[in-house]
A and B are shown apart, each in its own frame.
Chain A
Amino acid sequence: MIALVVDDSMAMRRIQGKALEAMGYQVSTAGNGVEALAVLGALTRCDLLLTDWHMPEMEGIDLVRAVRKDPRWASIRIVMVTSESDTKAIESALAAGADDFLMKPFTADTLAARITEVMRA
Chain B
Amino acid sequence: MPDAAGLAWAMVQRFMQDESGVTLRDDQSYLLEARLGGISRSFSFPDTPAFVRAACAPGATAPHRRALIDAMTTHETLFFRDAPFWERMEQTVFPSLSATGRPIRIWSAACSSGQEPYSLVMMLEESFPELGKRTEILATDVAADTVDRARNGVFTTLEVNRGLNARRMVRHFDSVAGGFQVKATLRDRIRFSVHNLVAPGLDPSDCDIVLCRNVLIYFEDERRRQVITRLRRAARPDGLIGVGSTETLSLRSLGPGWYANAEKEWR
Do the beta carbons of B173 and A105 come within 8 Å of each other? no
Q: Mark A38-68, 1 if CB is under 8 A from B, else 0.
A: 0000000000000000000000000000000
> Interface size for chain A: under 10, 10 to 19, 20 to 34, or 35 or more residues?
20 to 34
Report the Cα distance A9→B4, complex, angstroms.
50
| Chain B count of residues within 8 A CB distance of the other chain | 15
CB pair B175–A85 under 8 Å, yes or no, is yes
How many A-B residue pairs lie within 8 Å, measured between CB atoms?
44
Give Cα A113–Cα B186 distance, bound, in whole angstroms.
25
Contacts of B92 in A (CB 8 A): none
Chain B contacts with A in 190-240, Cβ cutoff 8 A: none
Whether B158 sits at the interface, judged by CB under 8 Å, is yes
Most buried by A among B160, B165, B169, B173: B165
Against A, the Cβ 8 Å flags (1 = close, 0 = not) of B162-179 are: 110111011001110000
In the assembled complex, the Cα of A106 lies from the Cα of B166 at a distance in Å of 13
B125-160 vs A, CB cutoff 8 Å, 1 = contact: the mask equals 000000000000000000000000000000001101
Q: Is A70 an interface residue (CB 8 A)?
A: no
27 inter-chain pairs at a CB distance below 8 angstroms, sorted by A residue, are A85-B157, A85-B175, A87-B169, A87-B170, A87-B175, A87-B180, A90-B170, A91-B170, A94-B166, A94-B170, A100-B166, A101-B166, A102-B161, A102-B166, A103-B157, A103-B161, A104-B157, A105-B158, A106-B161, A107-B158, A107-B161, A110-B158, A110-B161, A110-B162, A113-B163, A114-B161, A118-B165
Closest 7 CB pairs of A and B: A101-B166, A106-B161, A87-B170, A110-B161, A103-B157, A87-B175, A90-B170
